[in-house]
Amino acid sequence: MPRCRARNARGEPCGAPSGLVDPSTGLCAAHAPGGIDALPERGKLGAEVSAKVRQRRQPLSNDELPPLRAPEDAERWTEVVGRAVAERRLSASEGRTISSLLREFLAAHKAGAQARRLEELAEQIDALKKRRVG
């Protein structure tokens, strides 16, 4: 399908996807006669459709997501969230947000584990020093 035959303010070809071009005019909705005036109304309609889609989604249940306490839990969350995005129960943006939070959780968990290990090693060093001195 052809692209919109209009040009933007910089003189470049319109960037509208071909699926939004009216084949009879060769113009997208914004470049069609009166189109720029109709864009706010089209935006409102799009927002309403998006809201209806979000309302139909089945949210993730507590049964699907275990408490997030260990890296193994984060693995389960990743699996459930990935499936929910694929099934469109979560938006891609929501999936990215949760993935980012899981990365932060794993980084914090790793830092905590490293701090505990350092404490253990310091205690072992102290014990060895006391044996050597005593």
- What local confidence, expressed as pLDDT, does residue 32 receive? 83
Tokens read off for 86: 């694929």
Q: 54-64: buried (b, 16+ CB within 10 Å) or exposed (e) per residue?
A: eeeeeebeeee
CB 4 within 8 A of CB 22: no
Instruction: Give me the average pLDDT of each 10-residue run along the chain (134 residues).
Output: 81 84 85 77 76 69 87 94 91 94 95 92 91 78
- What local confidence, expressed as pLDDT, does residue 1 receive? 57
Q: Taking the CA of residue 60 as centre, how many other CA atoms within 13 Å lie in the half-sphere pointing to its CB?
A: 21
CB 36 within 8 A of CB 42: no
Q: Cα separation of 9 and 112, whole Å? A: 54
- What local confidence, expressed as pLDDT, does residue 54 receive? 64
Q: Cα separation of 93 and 56, whole Å? A: 17
- What local confidence, expressed as pLDDT, does residue 56 receive? 62
CB 24 within 8 A of CB 2: no
Q: Cα separation of 26 and 64, whole Å? A: 48
